Structure formats: structure tokens, C-alpha cells
Amino acid sequence: MAPLLDDHNGGLHNANGSPTLCQVAIIGAGSRGNAYAAATIASRLGIVVAVVEPIDFKRNLLGSKYIWKGRKPSTGEAFKDWRGFIESQRQSNADAAGSHASTSPPRVDAVFVCVRDELHAEVVTALAPLNLHLMCEKPLATTLQDCLRIQKALQSYPQKIFAIGHVLRYSPHNLLLRDLVLNRKVIGDVLSIEHTEPVGWWHFAHSYVRGNWRKESYTAPSLLTKSCHDIDWLLWMLCSPPPGTDRLAPHLPTTISSTGTLNLFRKSRKPVAAGSATNCLSCPLQNTCLYSAKRIYLDRHLLKAKNTDWPVDIVNPEIETIHSTQGPAAAQQALLTSLAEDYDASKTPTCDIESRPWFGRCVWESDNDVCDDQHVLLTWEDEDAAHPARKAKTASFHMIASTLAQCERRGRIYGSTGEISYDSSRITVHDFTNDETRRFAPELPKHSHHGGGDQGLTEQFLKAVEAVESGRMTVGEAQGEYLGVTVEEAVRSHAVVFAAEEARRTARVVGWREWWEDVQARMG
């Protein structure tokens, strides 16, 4: 192998000028951090060289899987706090400038930010001055003001590749669907889209009733935390110019309206037979209730499916290790111990209740308040008769908790010459002009979440980084070629979510242009 050269700015390259693998740091070793670490390794475009995670077990688990693998971690490979990582990078830059690179931690080219949603703004703005390429998990931030703060921070320093975890843009299924609609125009002009995200009956209970995203005041509305990439997907389909027409401005919505409520998971629906129980393990219905934590986590996943991954490892992150080292019985007991944890609303401080999930908590007695059923309606007016994609159209989105399907999106697209129906694996096109029906079933990766979207986003991000570091493309060229979205567009799609929430809360129709101009004037 040719010797490696370090220019401290463009990263390591072989003597012949070819780039080496992108060196990645993961900040946040939860399920999303692990997903992007796995996707980085699978892509063969990068390696993971550092992990940042306050919980020792999670940090060591990701590190042992993807970084040190059987040896002890070296300096600069593991951090408990993201501030320590940032200071290490500053020191590394100083060492590089002073030609002391041999004592520096591993070079980092790119960072995946996978911390809790409410920490995104603080972490990303702190990373912005370090001259690193960044990928931030969705949502970008939990307030629109913080989204704009991130945009300003990123634009205050030399431009680097930036990606947002809107993974629906990068799955093979959705790339084909967009190609059929916008490039091949298989149904003519788009008139309307009906898009549904079926969250899944126990999945919603896990994440949005018992889990970290259950309370709007502590995190954000469920439309943002769960469905911001569905809103982004609709804008990608209906706003963004088709490939080859990049000079066109986006066709932005005219009006936004929304209705939604916490319909199912509230105390008035608690079965009378459950009595005063607040935890499933002390409830007389623990063996029969549909939402019994014991039935969902122990019976359904750990015992029947022999699953120690998500969602079981979210309840107890050590469950996989306990199962493999101490056996199934010990894993079952550890899981039940975690599920038995509860709080007393009259005695436990509110900050303690809100700061963590309670996976054994009765779904009818939780402190959750986010919507479990919400509709959003977007409308567009004619803008440019010369471009069919800029004609009047509508889009409706429905997020619903109580479904059999789990995050397997489905919908219909109505066009001037045909109609498309789709789910997460199949696309059916019916052409009115010849009364013919064609079916498409794009091949989906076997071990990638979101229909291959996680893998697709990771690969495109790393390709963009390589293109910039090798000097083949400018940041703007690589951003457009591989990711197809700018930070401005990412912020705008989040803004549509916040506009929809304002429409829902105030029971009014929001005029997009006026609303967005007013927000930017007030917060800019």
C-alpha cells in the first residue's frame, strides 16, 4: 500500500493522490448512532474513529463493535461529553498547525450528531467552527428559532458538507417513485397526493407515550419528532425542482392547515378493571391488556421473537450482553426490573419524571400530551404555466398511531393522466390513456432501516465528503450532486412543520409566504 500523507486540511491521501476512507465520529450512541455507524462500515466509504456518549455501557458497546474491536480504546476514540470531543478536535488542529500530529487523536473528517433532539442546536452550533462535515439526525432542532440559529452558524464559517437525517429522500423505493412522477411523468401533471404514516399501535406507545418523545413541552410535537421527514418528503416531491431544472426556484405552498389531537392515549380510556394501577407489572390486566408492557417487551419481543435489539434494548441497553453472558433467564429478570420502575406523580419531582422514559408505565396514566392522530393539508397555486410542476395541487398528510403497519408509509398520487398507489415496498401505476397498469417492486436492502434510507443517506453523505476532500468538487457541487438539499431547504421544510403546528393550535389556515416572511423578520 502506498504511504499516507496528511495535509491537515484535505485529510489523508495516498501518495498517488487517491483518498482514504472518511474518518467518522458518532456523537450519541443510541439506536440512531448505532444505525449510522453500521451504515458507515457497510458503505465501505468510511470508518468510525470516535464515539461520544455519556452512558458508559452504550459508549463501550458502540466502540467495541465499530472502533477498538477487542482492544482497549486509544486516546481520542471515546468521550463521555461532546464538549470534551470538541476540545480534543481544537487541540488536534493546534497540533497539526504546529507539526505535532503524532501526538494527536485520530483525524476526524465528518461527524454524525445523534444526541437527544433538544440538544441538536447546542451541539451543531458548537461543532460549526471546527471545519468538519456534519450530518444531524432529524429533527434539526425542536424550535424554529434553533433551526434558524443552526443555519446562521453553519453559514458563518467556510462551507462544509451538511446533511439532515431526512432518510426518506434516499431509499430506493422513494427515489424510483420520484423518478416516475417528476422525470418520466407517468401520470402527467400531479394534482394531489394523499400520504399516510402509520406509526404502529405498540410503536407509538413505546416512543410517544412511555418514551422520550411523549411530552411536547420537554421535546417537541409528534409532527416534528416523528413526521418531519414525511413533510420533507412531500415538499421534495412537490416543491423541489425536478432533476435537470435546478435553476428553477422551488414551488412553495400557498396555504397550510392542520387538525390533530391526543385521541387514544389518555386517562379517560383507561379500563375500569385496571383500577388505580400506574405500572403494568402491578396491574390486574398485565396479561390481557393490549398495551401491557410485559406482553409487548417480554412476551412479544424477548421471548417469542428472541429479540434483544430495538425496542427491548431501549428499555434496558444491557439486555443483549446480559442475554449472551448470563443467559435468557437473567435477561428476562433484568427486563422485568426495568419495566417495574415507576414514579409517584404527587412525590416525584416533575423534572425527574420528564427527564427519562418510563417503559412500564400504564399508557392511560402517563404524562404524555403529543398528538396520536393528525392531518396536515398543503395547497399550491399556479405559478408558471410553462412548467407543469408549478401548477395548482394539494397534498394531505395523515399521521396515525393505532395501526397494524409500523412506519410503512402508504398513499396515492393523482395525476392528469393517471394514478399511482404506493406502500413501502410496491408502486402501482395506472395509465388513463391506455388503461394499463404497471407494478414496480424496487429491491430493498435487507439490513437497513427506513427501506434503505439510512444506508442511502450515509453513502451519499460520505460520497459528498470524499468529493470535496479529494478536490473533485466544490462543497456546493457535491452538496447538490449527492445530497440534493441545502441547509436552507432543510430549515424551510422544518418551518412548514412549525407552520402546520401553529395552524393546528390556532384552528386557522396559515398563508405560507406571509407567515414565513414574518418569522424570518422576527427571528432572523
| H helix intervals, 340-452 | 350-354
Q: Would you state the pLDDT for residue 4?
A: 31
Q: Same domain, yes or no, for 84 and 23?
A: yes
Cα–Cα distance between 461 and 463 in angstroms, integer? Answer: 5
Are β-strands 22-27 and 110-113 bridged in parallel, bridged antiparallel, or unpaired? parallel
pLDDT over 70 at 15, yes or no: no
Structural domains in the chain (count)? 3
Can you give the CATH number for the domain in which 250 is found? 3.30.360.10
User: Are residues 256 and 329 located together in one domain of the fold?
Assistant: no
CA distances from 72 to 46, 103, 387 (A): 21, 18, 59
Nearest Cα neighbor of 213 from 370, 38, 333, 41 is: 370
Nearby residues of 12 by Cβ (< 8 Å), 6 or more positions away: 4, 5, 6, 19, 20, 23, 107
Q: Torsion angle of alpha carbons 359, 261, 229, 62, nearest 10°?
A: -10
Is residue 179, in this structure, part of any structural domain at all? no
Average pLDDT over residues 13-42: 84
pLDDT tens digits along 364-374:
999 999 999 99
Residue 247 clears pLDDT 60, i.e. is over it: yes
Count of C-beta atoms within a 10 Å radius of residue 42:
16
Q: Quick one: pLDDT at residue 243?
A: 66
HSE-CB for 370 with a 13 A CA cutoff: 26
Cis before 139? omega within 30: yes
* 255 vs 379: CA distance, rounded Å: 5
Please indicate, yes or no, whether residues 280 and 291 belong to a single structural domain of this protein: yes
- Cβ atoms of 179 and 169 within 8 Å: the answer is no
**Dihedral class, residue 244 (left if φ above 0, else alpha if ψ from -120 to 50, else beta):** left
User: How far apart, in whole angstroms, are the C-alpha atoms of residue 176 and residue 183?
Assistant: 10
- State whether residue 197 is helix, strand or coil: strand
**Is residue 182 assigned to a domain?**
no
Q: Which backbone phi and psi does 190 adopt, to 5 degrees?
A: -75, 130
Which residues contact residue 104 at a Cβ distance below 8 angstroms, ignoring those fewer than 6 apart?
A: 76, 91, 92, 95, 96
Assess whether pLDDT exceeds 70 at residue 351.
yes
Residue corresponding to grid cell 450528531: 113
State yes or no: pLDDT of 91 exceeds 90. Answer: no
In-domain check, residue 343: yes
- In whole angstroms, give the CA distance from residue 104 to residue 23: 14
Q: Say which range, 96-100, 135-139, 347-351, 363-367, has the weakest mean pLDDT.
A: 96-100
What is the rounded average pLDDT for all residues in the chain? Answer: 92
If one compares 389 and 147, the residue with the highest pLDDT of the two is: 147
Task: Give the C-alpha separation, 244 to 213, whole Å.
Answer: 39
Distance CA 521, CA 513 (A): 12
Mean pLDDT (whole number) for 27-31: 95
Strands (E), 333-458: 373-380, 393-400, 410-415, 418-422, 427-431, 436-440
Is pLDDT at 10 greater than 50 in this prediction? no
The answer to whether the beta carbons of residues 49 and 85 sit under 8 Å apart is no
Q: Nearest to residue 36, comparing CAs of 154, 172, 165, 169? A: 165
Whether the bond into 357 is cis, omega within 30 of 0: no
Residue 179 — pLDDT band, cuts 50, 70, 90?
very high
User: What is the predicted pLDDT for the residue at 240?
Assistant: 79
32 and 127 inside one domain: yes
Read off the pLDDT of residues 293-320 as tens digits, 9 standing for 90 and up: 999 999 999 999 999 999 999 999 999 9
Task: Determine the Cα–Cα distance for residues 274 and 283; give it in Å rounded to an integer.
Answer: 6
Q: Are residues 18 and 103 in the same domain?
A: yes
- pLDDT band of residue 5 (cuts 50, 70, 90) is very low
Asked whether residue 253 falls in the same domain as residue 284, the answer is no
The answer to whether residues 241 and 284 belong to one domain is no
Q: Are residues 229 and 376 in the same domain?
A: yes
**pLDDT tens for each residue of 425-442:** 999 999 999 999 999 998
Residue 8: per-residue pLDDT: 35
pLDDT attached to residue 103: 59
Would you say residue 102 lies in a domain? yes
pLDDT digits (tens, 9 = 90+) for 106-147: 889 999 999 999 999 999 999 999 999 999 999 999 999 999
Domain with 336 in it: 268-354
Helix/strand number for the chain, H first, E second: 18, 17
Identify whether 435 is part of a domain: no
118-132 in b/e form (b: 16+ CB < 10 A) is bebbbbbbebbebeb
Asked, for residue 443, whether it belongs to a domain, the answer is: no
381, 326: one domain:
no
* Percent helix / strand / coil, the chain, rounded to 5: 40, 15, 40
Same domain, 42 and 122: yes
Beta strands in 416-520 (DSSP E): 418-422, 427-431, 436-440, 510-511
CA atoms of 27 and 82, how far apart (whole Å): 7
Number of other CB atoms surrounding residue 347 within 10 Å: 6
pLDDT band with cut points at 50, 70 and 90 for residue 444 = confident
Q: Give the global pTM.
A: 0.92
- Note whether residue 228 is domain-resident: yes
From CA 309, how far away is CA 302, in angstroms rounded? 9
Do 230 and 291 lie in one domain? The reply is no
Residues 123 and 228 in one domain: no
Per-residue b or e along 220-236, where b marks 16 or more CB atoms closer than 10 Å to that residue's CB: bbbbbbbbbbbbbbbbb
Query: Does residue 408 belong to any structural domain of this protein?
Result: yes
pLDDT tens per residue, range 269-297: 999 999 999 999 999 999 999 999 999 99
Confidence check: pLDDT of 48 > 60: yes
Last residue of a domain, one of 325, 354, 383: 354
- Residue 199: closest CA among 79, 329, 374: 374
Closest CA to 147 of 113, 166, 121: 121
pLDDT for the residue numbered 332 = 98
% residues pLDDT > 70 (the chain) = 92
CATH code at position 32: 3.40.50.720
Whole-number pLDDT of residue 470: 94
